[in-house]
Amino acid sequence: MIRFKSVNKYYGDFHVLKDINLVINKGEVVVVIGPSGSGKSTMLRCINRLETISDGELTVNGVKVNDKNTNINELRRNIGMVFQHFNLYPHKTVLENITLAPTMVLKQSKEEAEKIAMYYLEKVGIPDKANSYPSQLSGGQQQRVAIARGLAMKPEIMLFDEPTSALDPEMIGEVLDVMKALAKEGMTMVVVTHEMGFAKEVADRIIFMDQGRILEEGKPADFYANPKEERARVFLSRILNH
Amino acid sequence: MIDFSILIDHFDTYLEGFKNTILASIIGLIGSFIIGVIIAVMRIAPIKPFNWIGTAYVEFIRNIPLLIIAFFFYVGLPAVGIQLNGFVAGTIALAIYTASFIAEAIRAGILSVPKGQMEAARSSGLTYLQAMKAVILPQAIKIVIPPIGNQFINLVKNSSILGIIAGLDLMYFGDIVSSHTFVTFDVYIFVGLFYLVLTIPLSYGVRYLERRLARSY
C-alpha cells in the first residue's frame, strides 16, 4: 500500500533520509522508533507529501506521491494525519473541526457530515464536547478530536506523528486506547512514537531508525527481546531503564 | 473667535464634500482590503512568480507618494486616452496605495498563524486556497485588525488628496468656501472637524472589533 524505493532526502547538504526501502501493507500497523533527529517524522511526512523527497520513488496505492501529474489533494483525502501538537483549528468548534474537510473536499451536506462527525466523536468517547472550542478541552481530548477529524474522511491510511509526546502522562492512556481500537479494526497505521507498550501490544512491525537510515525492522516481540543492531540495543536500554 | 456663520452659510457645500469623502472612503476601504488580501496571499503563496508580483507591488506602491499615484490616474491616463474624473482617479489611487500597507499587515498576520494549521488543513485534502479561506485567514484577521484599522483611518484622512485633483471631496469644497469668503483658518477648522466625525467613530469601531474578536475563542 505504501512503498518506499531507495528514497533519499536532503535539506541542503544535510542528508535526512538515506536509502529508505520500506513496504507497508494494507491493514498493517507499523511503529517507527528511533532517537530524535533520526528522520522518522520526516519519513512519515513524506507519505502525504508534507515533505518532498529528493530522489527514489514513493508510492501510495500505486500512485507516485511526488509525480507532477499526481493530484495531491485527492491522494491526501485517503491519508489521515494526526500531529504531535494536535493542530485543531482554534476558531472552530469540535464539530466544525471534524466536518470542515468532509464538506469542503468530499462535498458532503452539513447534516450528513455532522452525523458522521458525531459517530466518530462517540467512538473516541467525547460526543458531549461537540460544541466546545479546542481551547476548552484537555490535551488528551484535543488529540482524540484530531483522530476523529482524520477518521471522518474515511481514509485507508492513518499517520500518527508522535501523537502522545505533547500530552500529560495521565492523558496518554486515553489516546492510546483509541489508537489500539483503531488498529484492531484493521486500519493501516504508521505511528511514530516512543510508547513501547503500545508498540508491543498492537504493532505488526517495528522500524528502528537512526541518522536517516532504517537500521532494523522486525516483529515487536523479537525486536524488544533481541535487537540485532548495537545502536538499537543502546537506544532500547536508555528508554526502557529510565 | 471662530466664525460659525461660515459653517452655517456654506453648510450645503460642506455637506456635498462630506458625502463624497464618505463615498471615496467606503469604496477605497473595500477596494484596498480586497486588493490587499490578494497581494498578501500572492506574496506568501508557494508559487514564485506570484511572490515576485506581490513583492513588486508592495515595494513600488508604498514607496511613492499617494499624490503621485493620484496624478498618474488623473493626468497620466488621459495621455493614453483614458479619461477619469478627479473623484474616480483619486479613489482608485487611494485604494491602490492603501492596499500595499494592508497587504503587509495581512501578510504578517498570516505568517503568525502556526504552520501546523496549514499542514492539518492540507493533509485533510483541502487545496491551498481552501485552507487559506477556511483556516488561515479567519485566524489571521484577529491579529490583523489593529494595524488594518490604522490603515483605514489613514485612508479616510488621505482621501483629502482628492481636493487637489478636483475630486469634489471635503477638501475641495473647503478650498471653494475659502476662496469665496477669503477666510482660511476658520474654513479649514470646520473641514478638520468633519474628518473627525468620520475618524473617531472608526477608531472606536476598530477597538470594539478588537475586543470582540479577542473574546471569540
Containing structural domain, residue A38: 2-87+157-240
Cβ contact (<8 Å) for A81 and B120?
A: yes
What is the mean pLDDT of each successive set of 10 residues along chain B, which is 217 residues long? 79 88 93 95 91 96 94 90 90 95 94 96 95 93 89 92 87 87 87 92 90 76
Note the pLDDT tens digit of each residue in A73-122: 999 999 999 999 999 999 999 999 999 999 999 999 999 999 999 999 99
- Per-residue cell: B5: 456663520
Cross-sheet strand order for the sheet of A29-33: A79-82, A157-161, A188-192, A29-33, A205-210, A213-218
Which candidate from A85, A105, A133 shows the least CB-CB separation from B124? A105
Q: How confident is residue A242, by pLDDT bands cut at 50, 70 and 90?
A: low
- Residue A163's φ and ψ, nearest 5 degrees, are -65, -15
Chain B residues touching residue A135 (CB < 8 angstroms): 217
Contact call for A104 and B139, based on CB within 8 A: no
Q: Give the largest Cα separation in chain A, rounded.
A: 55
Q: In the structure grid, which three cell numbers stand for residue A118, read together? A: 458525531
Long-range contacts of B179-182 (CB under 8 A, 24+ apart): B180/B10, B181/B6, B181/B10
Asked whether the beta carbons of A18 and A212 are under 8 A apart, the reply is yes
Q: End-to-end alpha-carbon separation of chain B, Å?
A: 52
CATH number, domain with residue A169:
3.40.50.300
Residue A224 and residue A216 in contact, taking contact as beta carbons nearer than 8 Å: no
What's the pLDDT score for residue B79? 86
A101 and B126 within 8 Å at the Cβ level: the answer is: yes
Answer yes or no: is the ipTM higher than 0.85.
Answer: yes
- Give yes or no for residue A8 having a pLDDT over 80: yes
List the one residue out of A31, A57, A14, A69 whose CA is nearest residue A218.
A31
Establish if B141 touches chain A: CB-CB under 8 angstroms.
Answer: no
Residue whose C-alpha cell is 536500554: A237
Number of domains in chain A: 1
Q: Return the SS3 of A133.
A: coil
Separation CA B194–CA B13 (nearest Å): 12
Neighbours of B114 (CB within 10 A): 13
> What is the domain count for chain B?
1
CA angle at residue B170 from B167 to B176, to 5 degrees? 80
pLDDT value for A238: 85
The mean per-residue pLDDT over the stretch A220-234 comes to 89
Whether the CB of B59 is below 8 Å from some CB of chain A: the reply is: no
- Which residue in A38, A69, A18, A59 sits closest to A231, CA to CA? A38
Classify residue A67: in a domain, yes or no.
yes
Residue A34 lies in a domain: yes
Upper half-sphere CA count for residue B145 (Cβ side, 13 Å): 18
Any B CB within 8 A of A47 CB: no
Q: Which pLDDT score, from 0 to 100, does residue A99 have?
A: 97
3-state secondary structure of A90: coil
CATH code at position B9: 1.10.3720.10
Q: What share of chain A in percent tops pLDDT 90?
A: 86
Minimal CA separation from A232 to chain B, in Å = 31
Q: Tell me, what amino acid is at A2?
A: I
Q: Which of A206, A212, A199, A208 has the alpha carbon at shortest distance from A231?
A: A208
The answer to whether the CB of A199 falls within 8 A of the CB of A225 is no
- Minimum CA–CA partner of A153 in chain B: B124
Give CB contacts under 8 A, 24+ apart, made by A59-65: A59/A2, A59/A3, A59/A5, A60/A1, A60/A2, A60/A3, A60/A157, A61/A1, A61/A156
Helix H or strand E encompassing A2: strand A2-11
Q: CB-based contact (8 Å) between A48 and chain B?
A: yes
Cβ atoms of B110 and B92 within 8 Å: the answer is no
Q: Supply the mean pLDDT for chain A.
A: 94
Which candidate from A79, A100, A133 shows the least CB-CB separation from B134? A100
Is A217 within a domain?
Answer: yes
Domain that holds residue B211: 4-216
CA of A202 vs chain B CAs: smallest distance (Å): 25
Task: Give tens-digit pLDDT for A205-226.
Answer: 999 999 999 999 999 988 988 8
Cβ atoms < 10 Å from Cβ of B130 = 18
Contact B114 A104 (CB under 8 A): no
